[in-house]
Amino acid sequence: MKNDMNRVEPSEFVARPFAQFDKGWFLLTGGDFSAKWNTMTVSWGFAGTMWGKPVVAVVVRPTRYTREFLDARAEFTLSALPEKYKKALTICGTKSGRDCDKMALTGLTPVASETVKPPTFEEANLVLECRTLYRQPMTEASFIDRAPFEKWYSSADDLHIVYIAEVLAVRQAKC
């Protein structure tokens, strides 16, 4: 982790969550840095309060290799990178860690997190370290409006799994 990162209390954290997810994206990383881990790009998710805790939610399709790591260990990191790393994020969002070494392809530098086993990245300017509290596969019957189901899913087997996680630590680049 670069030295010019500040630890921020989640309650004091100032963010633009809609823009950050939709336009800035995150690397979602699961596993154990000292053993096996994987990362993928995500642009869907949200942040808020649940069960009296600061939480984030991410949604992961069952086919993603990263899902295996999220299911095996109840921890993940979300790492935002500056705009100049968009190509690296695109690679991590279009190739699977099953078939390639994403770090070799992108040149990104994984580094240990402070409170969880999955790594983050030296290039990150925002890091959320998270402990998973709740996992819920979406169901077709739960769509009150069927339009998103029709638009985004080819079959019910492809529905996202929702992971809601407590935010244990937030680090942000110093301005």
Using CB under 6 A, which of 25, 37, 76, 121 touches ligand FMN?
A: 25
Burial (CB count <10 Å: 0-12, 13-18, 19+), residue 46: middle
φ, ψ for residue 40 (rounded to 5)? -145, 160
Using CB under 6 A, which of 5, 27, 42, 70 touches ligand FMN?
A: 42
- We find the least distance from the C-beta atom of residue 34 to ligand FMN, in angstroms, to be 19
Name the residue nearer to ligand FMN (CB basis): 16 or 98.
Answer: 98
Could you tell me which stretch among 40-48, 71-79, 118-126, 142-150 binds ligand FMN (CB under 6 A)? 40-48
Q: Where are the beta strands (DSSP E) in 36-156?
A: 37-42, 45-50, 53-60, 75-80, 110-111, 120-121, 126-137
Query: Where does this chain bind ligand FMN (CB under 6 A)?
Result: 25, 38, 40-44, 59-61, 64-66, 90, 93-98
